Structure 1
Amino acid sequence: MVHSKLRNYVLLQNLANGLVSPFMSFLAAAIGVPSLGVSIVSSASSFFGGIVQLPLRRIRSAELLLKISTLLLAALWFMMALLAYGNPMLYLAIYVAIACISGVNSFAWSLVMERLSRGSRGRVLANYAFYGSIGGLLATLLTGFMIRGNYALMQYVFMTSGFLVFMNVINVWGFGLRNPETQFVSNPLRLLRGNGKLTRFLLINMLFAMVWSFAWPLFPLAQLYIFHMNLEQLAIINLISGFSTMAFQRHVGSWFDRNRKLIMFLGRFLLVVFPLSYALAPNVYVIYLTNTVAGFTNSASNIAYISFVYDNSEDKKTAIILYNLFYGVGTLIGSLTGGALVTLVSDRIGLKEGVRIMLLGDAVARAAISMLYMGV
């Protein structure tokens, strides 16, 4: 019964998330949010979601945290629908609030998954990620084909997302989960000093997050001004990566249980194909083709890196928080750097050429940093 409710929860939550999340950076650029603001939107879920988790490490009830954060998310998506569209600064502010509460929600969910996945990390995490992929895929497809180029209709999509999350409030309120136990809650600095293996991994992951997120504000600019995409085409991209993820998810989970280091390396190294495709592709069809690789990279991201944290720490709560904090700081630095640099570069050589050159440089950086995962 509990597993059934949890599967329903992740399905509904990803359905609501899939309606909106793939389009938030694109929409920010389309409605006039400045480049720096687009950078913040691109990295908000990673950075703010990681920052807000630090005070939560002494929270005893993951179940209560899951319930409250789900309720607040529903309210914020209703606010986004009713207040924010057409107002770039309010759009940015409410989305940052959504990112913060999503971080709380993600932390509570990670604690639940840590307990349920003991003994078979790859298989269990892949199973729940598979259900999440189904929900996100259906929602993204619906949004893209419904909106196309009429961005004002996103108000109704935000409203629908809020309604779905509210349905999950009703679902989650009936949970009867045992709270994930932790033997102790340690000081974060003491944990970092005393666990060199985990600290090295967190630093490598933060460094990769910087070069990964560097391209995030560049992608919506390339989509708008180089390939002239609309939301329908963006939905097709997400549809391809979603189907590919569903095809790979459970296989990657099994492979990870057999060869963790290789999956961690390939999950990062193969991310070079995305900036390369946006920099070099002659048309959007090449972008479609390269997004088949997302099946492997998404699957690895859903499983491999958080599993390493689970299995190399005694204090799971603090370790999860530090993982998200380091990653979030890395994404903010990278995204803001990318957003600021593209403004300077485009003033000198033009937006299209500037974006292409920066994406090529980012692909090289991703390939170089991914090699470090072979040594964790």
Structure 2
Amino acid sequence: MSKDKIVLAYSGGLDTSITIPWLKENYDADIIAVCVDVGQKEDWEAVEKKAIASGASKFYNPHVADVLAEEYIYPAISSNLKYQGTYLLGTALARPLIAKELVAVAHKEGATAICHGCTGKGNDQVRFETGIAAFDPEMKIVAPWRIWDIKSREDALKYAELKGVPVTSTIEKIYSEDENLMHISHEGGDIESPKNAVDYSSILNITNALENTPDEAEIVEITFEQGKATAVNGEELKPHEVLETLNAIAGKHGIGVLDWIEDRTIGMKSRGIYETPGATLLMEAHERLESLTLTKETIKLKQHLAVEFAELIYNGQWYSMASDSILAFMNHTQKTVTGDVKLKLYKGNMLPHGLKSEFALFDEDVSGFGEDDLFDHHDAEGYINVITLPTKIQKKLGLL
């Protein structure tokens, strides 16, 4: 009789490395490790060898960074999504795609369950399990952090040593890090307490600390077609190439570092340090282009819906009727968001350096102080009489 199969969302980090021997101890099942390539820089051959050596019977490595860029990150950029007005959702955007790939492997292998290494206090358990449910609501979930005796990352390190599992984390550098094409997050250790100042130069991986940035500014030009970046400095690039290129350019100038206290889905506040250089630059350029090509009312609606959309994605609801509906609106607004944006980068700053579009709503004659054919200065008097009428009535009644 063949064994059951459990698909493990595997990263090769501390949590998932110790999960393989733990699963084998507690389940009579073959463990299939799935490490989804969403743009993180890894020696994939070494990751596979480690998974097999740790006890996995098979290893899958779907390469979907281009899908992440085109179908998840780009829609987030064109929607100007920032959770709580700040966080660009780097982790949250990758989770639904990883969940989709996990289910695909589970179906291919006939697995009975999917296992993840998310903690019981984190957001990702919600995102993974909601994403999995969207493709297979009957799939069983194994979440070791919610049931095993390991209570901390220090315990996890001791368990790894006991089982002979090699890990890169140490007591001194016990940070939990997540990397994909869009960003790198850092949590844990001395980062956890808001009271602690941290040495960014010792933590950041793809972004220079400000003191290490160049002393000369750099001009970058980004070309958009219907809200999607298609070229950098005149060179046509695919979405994932745009992000890779801008990560290097923006990272050099210290752009896109966020040290932030966020409200987790689970309810508590937590501190994290995020590096999102390329996407930060891309969103800044995109918002500037929209200021030129969208009407005031459209921008207002987008800003309102972006708050709701960002929260949906943060809470794991990428695959939902609400998200689909908002995205349909966002996509419709991008028909005229075409043009070129130049920004000057210097010491973490992104300064405007020129903006043009064939769909520009800015009219030099109308916006200037001189006469034009569309607006008569006397028209303003009637408008002011109408707009001040409520104020005058309130004053007459003694309400002001």
TM over 0.5: no
Rg larger for: 2
RCO higher in 1 or 2 (8 Å CA, sep ≥ 6)?
1
* TM-score normalised according to structure 1 size: 0.28
* TM-score normalised according to structure 2 size: 0.27
Which protein is richer in strand relative to its size? Answer: 2
